[in-house]
Structure 1
Amino acid sequence: MTEIREMQLDDLEQVMEIENENFSRPWTETGFFTFLIRQDTLFLVAEEDEEILGYCGVVMVQDEGDITNVSVKKDRQNHGIGKLLVQELIRKTEEMGVSRLFLEVRESNERAIHVYEKAGFVKNGLRKNYYEDPVEHAVLMMHETTGKER
């Protein structure tokens, strides 16, 4: 059974493996550490039998949050783990008073865009040539709390 919980410093070794396998410009371990010790962030991991399957994070300013990353191990993609992570991130940030979440995603990452749309995100812009390796536009998306129970 997959458990979604807050990321701990002890998780970084496994998180870095996922980060490095999925991104051409991965964050560093120091980068993750810097965000994990801040009070204005929330990072979650999906774990099964002590194995980290994926993670996500958000930086919050007042009632808004910017999702920094969502990533799932390549061999566990398309199993609903990203969906679970995003849903729990939405739930936890709403509890913390966040009413709007923002993110950007590669224009070609149709699977991720679909996951975000199913979670209630809507496209609200395009950031041209945002990504490198390869150069690609970023689709901007936003999730707004409706105030209704889910």
Structure 2
Amino acid sequence: MVHTQEIERQFLVKKLPDNLSQYPYTDIKQGYLSIEDDREVRLRQAGTVFTLTVKQGQGEVREEEEILLKEKDFTLLWRLTEGRRVVKRRYHLPYTHLQLELDIYYEELNGFYSVEVEFENRASSAAFVPPAWFGREVTHDERYKNKHICNGRIRQ
């Protein structure tokens, strides 16, 4: 089990960056077993890696517990996420000393894009200047969290 405290900011995307095909990506499918106001229990397949993750907290800083699963265990639990899933391609883009994670959503959310930036500490988060292709910041807007859009709709 891996315990981390993540410091992360999320933005909408005004315009996809040029030369996107040159960057590595991971195809992800994730579904939610439980969704509460300040806690979520998520299954994720990222390439050939299967995880069960519990996230707790809201906003920029959250606690995260992650457990690696065997594919057969993931498959058994996956059916319980029916109606609470997202499918996306996550591009990994370098930016200064940071790694940007650009998510391009598919299926019911086709055409929706968001980008997340994870930071080592609050000071580096506060000092971050987003590139021009970033749109509005939605870190504190719960409507854009995967746990809320997993039904295929973004609440306006």
TM band (smaller chain): under 0.3
Q: Which has the higher contact order (CA 8 A, sep 6+)?
A: 2
State the TM-score, normalizing by the size of structure 1.
0.27
- Please state which structure has a larger fraction of its residues in strand: 2
State the TM-score, normalizing by the size of structure 2.
0.27
- Please state which structure has a larger fraction of its residues in helix: 1
